[in-house]
């Protein structure tokens, strides 16, 4: 029997020995013991069951977002692992890894985690993740993926139909950043194609490339500006379009910006509208933006990384009206579709736009095989995870309405929190949302703007260092603000109130004490008894 097959190497159950070897169980351990094959299948099953049991026990026991260990403590734990020492066996390695990683990970399912765009994940998706990780399909060529390619393509078709891009195409990506980059690459290639349909080259290409502009609001995701840099556009390629008071793109300002771009001898390569801005969670007026893009024959990219979940919302789908007029769309399944990282897609209205970025290699997808269904023709990646399987399984498990109900739940929760804070004497709402963020400042009467500014990073830091709650900070209209991103449909208003109580406690402690002066020197978690760290690491 393989060494990996021996019970007890990664044992958590009480029936089995707890001992985990700290020295190699057998220094002659070979690939046949370690790699997942037919011969090691039962060892694989035992190993993964134990990991799953351990993680499940941790999920059940978690009572705060993370351990609150300081960076100094964590660095020491990480550095203590000798990566050059002989192997300690699969069981020992997984045990050690769980003690390090799982013990100090940030748990997005905890009700007091409300910082970034991270969601609790759907169990069917996690099951599918186990399947795809073990089988290890690469969705690049058909001969490496067969049915997986067909399933991904079916899911892409499902997504384009939901958007209304009925003849569209697309591909799964690693995230919204890659989806935005891919869309803007295709837009750049379209802009750099001559009237004869031939890709410009040489001086003509370089001359025009320097004059390409992307029009987006300041609230668009930073990956838009980063894409401009990666795509070799000019330093000033991203033109900021003004917004209304709620932070949504102002169509009149867009019309002006399009006209000004042309007057300046530049070319609007793309307009990027955001369906769910990262901070305010607002949706740009897509239909009016689309009208302007149509009138000027400008590529419209809709970044629905956050708002994509509205596609299945039973009550809020109307917020996306006009998205069907986009030329490309980003949808992040690992945000509002409750999928494990990573799962995103970029969708195109016209399959020919996707072909603009195709590349052919003799060994993989030669031109003469172009009729074959090779997803590598559509992707910026070559080897690529079969992330679509997770979304597929989730859809089959709970259906689109089941996902939509969860999207509605987080949006309803955000609305309830907004209503709750409307007259709050200490926490002042800064703006509204179309989705599920809450942006506010701690500023009761008597606290100056400058003090409220300073409290934002301090409160966030105190909460994070305590491990008890995690909230985010951002800047709105030039002023620092605290932010909750609510993406857990099981969280209640009372759960959020508890987080907000910790925010108030932290602010009271900071204002009462000297700690505001000491922000650079962590930890500052002891400013209030409610925020003292109680765990030393292991949340079990």
User: Which listed range, 77-85, 272-280, 348-356, 403-411, lies at the site for ligand PLP (CB under 6 A)?
Assistant: 272-280
Using CB under 6 A as the binding rule, whether residue 305 contacts ligand PLP is answered as yes
Q: Which of 488, 491, 481, 433 is nearest to 459 (CA)?
A: 481
User: Which residues contact residue 334 at a Cβ distance below 8 angstroms, ignoring those fewer than 6 apart?
Assistant: 119, 175, 340, 341, 342, 343, 344
Q: Which is nearer to ligand PLP, 29 or 476 (CB)?
A: 476
Q: Which is nearer to ligand PLP, 90 or 159 (CB)?
A: 159
Q: Which two tokens stand for residue 469?
A: 């709650």
The distance in angstroms from the start CA to the end CA of the chain is 33
**What sign does the CA torsion over 379, 382, 387, 388 have?**
positive
- Per-residue mark of binding to ligand PLP, 377-416 (x: CB under 6 A): ----------------------------------------
> Distance (Å, rounded) from C-alpha 50 to C-alpha 43?
11
Q: For the range 156-162, what are the long-range contacts, defined as Cβ-Cβ under 8 Å and sequence gap of 24 or more?
A: 156/345, 156/347, 156/388, 158/395, 159/311, 159/331, 159/345, 159/347, 160/347, 162/311, 162/312, 162/400
Q: Which is nearer to ligand PLP, 341 or 519 (CB)?
A: 341
User: Which residues contact residue 389 at a Cβ distance below 8 angstroms, ignoring those fewer than 6 apart?
Assistant: 128, 129, 131, 132, 148, 151
User: Which listed range, 57-65, 173-181, 409-417, 502-510, lies at the site for ligand PLP (CB under 6 A)?
Assistant: 173-181
Q: Binding to ligand PLP (CB under 6 A): which residues in 180-199?
A: 180
Total residues in contact with ligand PLP, by rule CB under 6 A: 15
Among 149, 278, 328, 365, binds ligand PLP (CB under 6 A): 278
Q: Which is nearer to ligand PLP, 11 or 344 (CB)?
A: 344
Using a 10 angstrom Cβ sphere, with 0-12 exposed, 13-18 middle and 19 or more buried, the burial of residue 307 is buried
With residue 131 as reference, give the H or E element that holds it. helix 123-135
Using CB under 6 A as the binding rule, whether residue 434 contacts ligand PLP is answered as no
Q: Which two tokens stand for residue 115?
A: 């910082």
3-state secondary structure 264-294: CCCEEEEEEEEECCCCCCCECCHHHHHHHHH
Using CB under 6 A as the binding rule, whether residue 221 contacts ligand PLP is answered as yes
Using CB under 6 A as the binding rule, whether residue 303 contacts ligand PLP is answered as yes
User: Which listed range, 12-20, 48-56, 300-308, 394-402, lies at the site for ligand PLP (CB under 6 A)?
Assistant: 300-308
Using CB under 6 A as the binding rule, whether residue 488 contacts ligand PLP is answered as no
User: Which listed range, 171-179, 189-197, 255-263, 441-449, lies at the site for ligand PLP (CB under 6 A)?
Assistant: 171-179
Using CB under 6 A as the binding rule, whether residue 124 contacts ligand PLP is answered as no
Determine the 3-state secondary structure of 405 from DSSP: helix
User: Which listed range, 76-84, 135-143, 170-178, 264-272, lies at the site for ligand PLP (CB under 6 A)?
Assistant: 170-178
What's the full length of the chain, in residues?
Answer: 540
Determine the 3-state secondary structure of 126 from DSSP: helix
- Per-residue mark of binding to ligand PLP, 84-123 (x: CB under 6 A): ---------------------------------x------
Q: Which is nearer to ligand PLP, 117 or 469 (CB)?
A: 117
Q: Which is nearer to ligand PLP, 178 or 443 (CB)?
A: 178
Give the nearest distance from C-beta 274 to ligand PLP in angstroms.
5
Give the nearest distance from C-beta 381 to ligand PLP in angstroms.
14
Q: Which of 270, 273, 244, 243 is nearest to 258 (CA)?
A: 270
User: Which listed range, 128-136, 264-272, 273-281, 369-377, lies at the site for ligand PLP (CB under 6 A)?
Assistant: 273-281
Using CB under 6 A as the binding rule, whether residue 274 contacts ligand PLP is answered as yes
Using CB under 6 A as the binding rule, whether residue 223 contacts ligand PLP is answered as yes
User: Which listed range, 92-100, 274-282, 310-318, 364-372, lies at the site for ligand PLP (CB under 6 A)?
Assistant: 274-282
Give the nearest distance from C-beta 149 to ligand PLP in angstroms.
23
User: Which residues contact residue 145 at a Cβ distance below 8 angstroms, ignoring those fewer than 6 apart?
Assistant: 137, 138, 139, 375, 386
Specify whether the CB–CB gap between 416 and 422 falls below 8 A. no
User: Which residues contact residue 475 at a Cβ distance below 8 angstroms, ignoring those fewer than 6 apart?
Assistant: 481
Specify whether the CB–CB gap between 354 and 169 falls below 8 A. yes
Q: Which is nearer to ligand PLP, 95 or 221 (CB)?
A: 221
Among 306, 333, 386, 464, binds ligand PLP (CB under 6 A): 306
Q: Which is nearer to ligand PLP, 250 or 303 (CB)?
A: 303
Among 67, 177, 328, 336, binds ligand PLP (CB under 6 A): 177
Q: Which is nearer to ligand PLP, 110 or 332 (CB)?
A: 332
DSSP state of 235: T
Q: Which is nearer to ligand PLP, 273 or 430 (CB)?
A: 273
Specify whether the CB–CB gap between 496 and 413 falls below 8 A. yes
Using CB under 6 A as the binding rule, whether residue 176 contacts ligand PLP is answered as yes
Distance of CA 391 to CAs 138, 155, 239, 349, Å?
16, 8, 35, 21
Using CB under 6 A as the binding rule, whether residue 281 contacts ligand PLP is answered as no
User: Which residues contact residue 382 at a Cβ distance below 8 angstroms, ignoring those fewer than 6 apart?
Assistant: 140, 364, 376
- Per-residue mark of binding to ligand PLP, 328-357 (x: CB under 6 A): ----x-----------x-------------
Using CB under 6 A as the binding rule, whether residue 458 contacts ligand PLP is answered as no
Q: Which is nearer to ligand PLP, 181 or 502 (CB)?
A: 181
- Residues lying near ligand PLP in the complex (CB under 6 A) are found at 117, 175-177, 180, 221, 223, 274, 276, 278, 303, 305-306, 332, 344
């Amino acid at each position: 029997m393989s060494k990996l097959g021996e019970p007890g190497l990664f044992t958590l159950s009480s029936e089995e020995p707890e001992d985990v070897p700290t020295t190699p169980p057998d220094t002659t351990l070979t690939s046949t013991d370690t790699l997942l094959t037919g011969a090691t299948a039962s060892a694989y099953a035992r190993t993964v069951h134990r990991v799953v049991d351990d993680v499940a026990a941790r999920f059940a026991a978690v009572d705060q977002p993370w351990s609150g260990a300081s960076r100094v403590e964590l660095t020491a734990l990480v550095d203590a692992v000798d990566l050059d020492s002989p192997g300690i066996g699969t069981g020992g390695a997984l045990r050690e890894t769980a003690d390090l990683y799982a013990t100090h990970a940030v748990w997005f399912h905890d009700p007091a985690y409300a910082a970034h765009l991270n969601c609790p994940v759907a169990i069917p998706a996690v099951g599918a993740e186990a399947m795809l990780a073990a089988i290890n399909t690469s969705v690049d060529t058909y001969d490496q993926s067969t049915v997986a390619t067909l399933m991904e393509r079916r899911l892409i078709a499902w997504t384009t139909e939901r958007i209304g891009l009925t003849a569209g195409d697309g591909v799964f990506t690693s995230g919204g950043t890659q989806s935005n980059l891919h869309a803007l690459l295709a837009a750049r290639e379209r802009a750099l194609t001559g009237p004869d349909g031939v890709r410009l080259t040489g001086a003509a290409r370089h001359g025009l490339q320097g004059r390409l502009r992307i029009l987006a609001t300041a609230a668009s995701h930073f990956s838009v500006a980063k894409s401009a840099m990666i795509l070799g556009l000019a330093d000033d390629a991203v033109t900021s379009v003004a917004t209304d008071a709620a932070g949504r793109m102002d169509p009149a300002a867009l019309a002006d910006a399009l006209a000004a771009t042309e007057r300046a001898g530049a070319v609007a390569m793309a307009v990027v509208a955001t369906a769910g801005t990262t901070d305010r969670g607002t949706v740009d007026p897509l239909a009016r933006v689309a009208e302007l893009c149509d009138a000027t024959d400008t590529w419209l990219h809709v970044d629905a990384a956050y708002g994509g979940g509205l596609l299945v919302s039973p009550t809020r789908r109307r917020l996306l009206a006009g998205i069907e007029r986009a030329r490309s769309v980003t949808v992040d399944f690992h945000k509002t579709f409750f999928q494990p990282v990573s799962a995103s897609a970029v969708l195109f209205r016209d399959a020919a736009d996707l072909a603009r970025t195709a590349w052919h290699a003799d060994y993989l997808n030669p031109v003469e095989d172009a009729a074959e269904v090779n997803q590598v023709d559509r992707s910026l990646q070559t080897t690529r995870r079969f992330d679509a399987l997770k979304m597929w399984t989730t859809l089959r498990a709970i259906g689109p309405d089941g996902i939509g109900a969860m999207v509605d739940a987080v949006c309803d929760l955000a609305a309830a929190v907004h209503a709750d804070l409307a007259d709050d004497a200490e926490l002042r709402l800064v703006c509204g949302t179309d989705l599920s963020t809450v942006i506010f400042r701690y500023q009761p009467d008597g606290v100056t703007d400058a003090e409220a500014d300073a409290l934002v990073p301090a409160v966030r830091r105190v909460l994070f260092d305590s491990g008890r709650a995690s909230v985010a900070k951002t800047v709105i209209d030039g002023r620092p603000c605290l932010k909750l991103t609510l993406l857990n449909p099981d969280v209640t208003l009372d759960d959020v109130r508890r987080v907000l109580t910790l925010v108030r406690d932290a602010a009271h402690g900071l204002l009462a004490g000297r700690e505001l002066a000491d922000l650079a020197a962590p930890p500052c978690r002891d400013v209030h008894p409610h925020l003292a760290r109680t765990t030393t690491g292991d949340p079990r």
